[in-house]
Amino acid sequence: MKSSHLSKAAQLMGLAIYGIGILFSSCSTQATQAENTDVSVRTVSAELPVIEAELTTPPMVPAPITRKHPAKVVVRLEVTEEVKRLADGVDYTFWTFGGSVPGKFIRIRQNDEVEFHLLNHPDSKNPHNIDLHAVTGPGGGASSTFTAPGHETVFNFKALNPGLYVYHCATAPVGMHIANGMYGLILVEPEEGLPAVDKEYYVMQGDFYTKGKFGEAGLQPFDMEKALDEKPTYVVFNGAVGSLTGDNAITAKKGETVRLYVGNGGPSLISSFHVIGEIFDKVYPEGGSNVNTNVQTTLVPAGGAAITEFKVEVPGNYVLVDHSIFRTFNKGALGMLKVEGSEELAIYSGQISDKVLKPEGSTIQEMPMAEAPKAQVANNKDMRIALGKTVYVQNCQACHQAEGQGIQGAFPPLAKSDFLNDNVDRAIGVVAHGLEGQIKVNGEVYNSTMPKLKLSDEQIANVMTFVLNNWGNKGGEVTLKQVSKARASNPH
């Protein structure tokens, strides 16, 4: 047997041994619980007030805790296995805590006593459990929560340490359960509470391993070979490409302070979390009590978390990224924070000058791809629009923005664009061949470079149809014949 195969076999054996150990421990614990179920629940202090935990779906966060005393907090979290969107046209069977990826956000207070209920929906095909990194005890709760479909398990723990912690499934094969979306965050607030901020959001990165290539349509199965090689097809925030863009973008107003609870479910990659155009005033690395200030990018390990805080002084769109940057623009790890308010020209002026430095020798940049990826064939205009949205998010959104508004002085708008609407064939040619030099769009001059994208005729027709039918443009459908004609009349 080849050494690489031996290595993969060893990894699989390791996963199985770890899972079997938890299973045996779980079975032993469950036998005890079966005899003493009432006793185990009553170990929580009887004199504490009882509170049913508020659980929220990402990117939302439960309200800050204002009480000044510990409580008995009852957490009920249900596991479901369900088909959901991974990208436009791409579905995946996610295994979830609470119906979302990442799972529901849990917020408790230091020294709270937690009665944790894990429910596994009867329609599930697999047993599951939960390992909460906030728990002091065997398996972080995994040994007490091995839960078959249609069952409910209960255990108690005391929140001894404040911080922001990951939770995840630890049933064998552990990596597969995590890779299918079984992770989330639990915040244990310190006794004195956290400093007040204006906005709080929940952002968690994860890597997904599908049989098909990025963007390949249909219901995609999990690929163990890619997972073992740690070569994900998708790297995304909050479980899907575009989960934090467009109408799903998080928001703030100029002058507000934003706190992001950032997690990384992995299972494999480390995240280099960064917000383009902002500096983190504070970072709580590893989700702990230490504070770093004036941070540009912070590392979030697989199975780890960080808290970032920053004040937004300038309005505009701020892009959330994994600064291992190909993951952002080619695998999906991109989000958006939209900040409203009046301009602050003393802090950020926008472009005030644009001069030709060296006009000779300019050339069209070309994206370094060996060949255009295969595109799903659209059968009608509506399908072309849907597929075009995926192409737009993957290739165009970073420059032209989620609503096609562009970036003033840098990248021209596609929304209500006279350049586009007056001559669609010309615009198709720009996508096919790239563009260098000045153009005027909606009365404003732009002199940036549009790279030549390695897109198939089908993808160009799709993305152009998507753009034409959004943001106040004139509508219509771009055909493969139009694209072929534009490609043949290459002016360069």
Residue 307's DSSP bridge partners are 261, 284
| 5 is known to lie in a ligand binding site | no
| 182 is known to lie in a ligand binding site | yes
| Bond from prior residue into 315 cis (ω within 30 degrees of 0) | no
Helix (H) or strand (E) holding 334: strand 334-340
Q: Which residues contact 408 (CB under 8 A, 6 or more apart)?
A: 350, 351, 444
| 400 is known to lie in a ligand binding site | no
If you ran DSSP here, which 8-state letter would residue 64 be given? P
- Contact call for residues 178 and 129 (beta carbons, < 8 A): no
Give the start-end residues of each E strand in 8-105.
50-52, 72-87, 90-97
Geometric angle at alpha carbon 180, from 175 and 184, rounded to 5°: 90
Residue whose token pair is 């972080």: 140
Q: Classify residue 28 by burial, with Cβ atoms within 10 Å: 0-12, 13-18, 19+.
A: exposed
| 128 is known to lie in a ligand binding site | yes
Q: Which whole-number Å values give the CA distances from 85 to 4, 55, 94, 122, in the listed order?
A: 33, 22, 9, 22
C-alpha radius of gyration, the chain, whole number = 25
- Contact call for residues 58 and 36 (beta carbons, < 8 A): no
Q: Order the strands of the 334-340 sheet from edge to edge.
A: 250-253, 334-340, 316-322, 271-276, 297-300
Q: Which whole-number Å values give the CA distances from 367 to 206, 302, 324, 455, in the listed order?
A: 26, 30, 18, 10
- Contact call for residues 194 and 64 (beta carbons, < 8 A): yes
Q: Which whole-number Å values give the CA distances from 106 to 77, 184, 203, in the listed order?
A: 10, 8, 13
Give the start-end residues of each E strand in 223-303.
234-237, 250-253, 257-266, 271-276, 280-284, 292-295, 297-300
**Cα–Cα nearest to 390, from 379, 408, 378, 380:** 378
| 323 is known to lie in a ligand binding site | yes
Q: Which whole-number Å values give the CA distances from 268 to 17, 113, 235, 492, in the listed order?
A: 19, 32, 10, 44
Q: Which two tokens stand for residue 323?
A: 């600064």
Binding-site members are 128, 133, 168-169, 177, 182, 323
Binding-site members for Cu cation are 128, 133, 168-169, 177, 182, 323
